[in-house]
Chains A and B, each alone.
Chain A
Amino acid sequence: MQLNGKVPIRGALTAITATLLGSGVVHADPKGKVESSVLLYSETNRVSAAEGVFSLTRFLKKDRILNARLTLDGLTGSSPNGATPSNNIQTFTRPSGSDSYKVKAGKTPLDDTFRDRRVGLDGSLTLPVNRLTKLILGAHLSAEQDYTSFGTSAGMTRDIFRKNTTLSASIAFSHDLVTPVAGAPTPLSDMAQPTRSNGEESEGGPSESKNIFDVVVGVTQVINRTTLLRVNYSVDHASGYLNDPYKIVSIVQGQSSAQPGEPTRYINESRPRNRTKRAAYAELRHYIGGHTIDLSYRYFNDSWGIRSQTVDFRYHLPLKVGHSIEPHFRWYHQTQANFYQSYLLDGAGLPNSVSADYRLAPFHAITAGLQYLFPFEEGTHLSLGVEYYQQFGDLSPPAAMGPLSQKNLFPELKAVMVRLGFSYDL
């Protein structure tokens, strides 16, 4: 119990005193925060999207936090419809059901009328139960022309071991409606014929729905003064109509027929009506010599047979006062869903489940980007980021039959993202 010869305690004392006085109950500063971010996303020859988020956070009495978020999305361009390329011109019915579009010989069939707008509203309320436990309640509503989603969530966090460990658990439920203009197609049915004769859009066909139930549990652990680790495990179960109503599958002629590999007809995709996704996620933040490293890894698998791994790396490099630059690199790899097939063979009978959606194909992807952050004035920050994203699939799978093995079966995706962020303390 001798203090003499010990390290002086003054620095620690100043720190704990500042901590105590900083958390004043009478005037919490700041009162809130406005954050917004605009993302421009552009794929080479395909989809362009703009997405804007506007978020308002208010710090209320009794340490309650209210957050409201508005998301606006606009999307336009061409998207692969799932059909295989052909030696001939192919004709497809537009999603509206009223018209058709043609695709040149040898080209990956793209639906060039892909266009959508989305408005999303999210709200959350954080309620401290006591000094260690927080309750977070949330709700969301998202509306597109052909899709509506609404849901709620509830979560809890608990600090233990002098706030060195934080446990968290949350659940969410969402009910989504799929309402394409021409109705949600019946799985495995033939692609509809255009109803152009009267020039009117076909009347709303059947709509479908799905329910999604999510659970996330996590542990955040302070390792030491410069290192923080978070581990999360999430399970997500979706049931109902899980198809993309705009994806079709080509049924092609067999090897021994007159035109092997050429489509005879197209059917609507058929995904299983249930899907369970599981993801284990670990994130490490480490501070070293003024720089911050953020490294995360995710292992994912689902009941459709997809397994994926994601590695994400960010480096925060401060420049002069307040300015910083952040290189970012992401690597992603997934295996295919077990019902993924680029095409079906004519006369071979239909499987229960089939999809030619490239997102269920085996591929890997990389993202590389750079973000610059700079203070605008006190309490205001701006950031500008540019990222490049590319997917690499198996263009000509060796198993593809005859002529199709010469064709581009994975619709290669290259995209550039530009993001402008803004945050302002109220």
Chain B
Amino acid sequence: MTKRLRFALSVSAIALLFGSLSGCAPIGVQVWERDILAKQEMQLDYQAIDMSLDDHIYFSKEGSSGGRGFGGGGCGCN
């Protein structure tokens, strides 16, 4: 199950890249179509501080870290 999910994930990422490379897929937007993407809640760093606090809690309570950014460290909590 996990293996398959992981595979599907990488395939979709590669497909995306090629889609935009070839320029034929209707992927991406023109500059004047960025109104919604410009919204605060559509930013990837939206509430970054809160996220970092959460990540710090999970880093100290669980066996995993990383993904969104660096794998963590920097504290003696794990």
Contact = CB atoms under 8 A, between A and B. Distances in A.
A107 interface: no
Interface string A207-220: 00000101010011
B21 to A, nearest CB: 8
A298 B53 contact: no
Given A219-B17, A230-B44, A413-B61, A224 B74 contact: no
A118 B75 contact: yes
Considering residues A15, A36, A360, which has the most beta carbons from chain B within 10 angstroms of its beta carbon? A15
A interface residue count range (under 10 / 10 to 19 / 20 to 34 / 35 or more) = 35 or more
Given A15-B32, A15-B35, A310 B74 contact: no
Nearest to B38: A19
Nearest to A417: B57
A281 B64 contact: no
Given A37-B53, A53-B52, A287-B42, A334 B63 contact: yes
Interface in A319-333: 324, 332
A112 interface: no
B70 A172 contact: yes
Contacts of B56: 51
Contacts of A334: 62-64
Nearest to A324: B41
A144 B60 CA distance: 15
B32 A419 contact: no
A41 to B, nearest CB: 6
- The secondary-structure label for the interface of chain B is loop
A226 interface: yes
A306 B68 CA distance: 18
Contacts of B39: 287, 292
Nearest to A391: B61
A73 B53 CA distance: 11
Nearest to B35: A15
Nearest to B33: A225
A228 to B, nearest CB: 6
B16 A41 contact: no
A164 B28 CA distance: 5
Question: Which 6 pairs, one residue from A and one from B, show the smallest C-beta to C-beta distance?
Answer: A147-B76, A236-B71, A164-B28, A281-B67, A12-B32, A15-B32
7 contacts: A12-B30, A16-B31, A39-B53, A285-B44, A292-B42, A299-B9, A309-B2
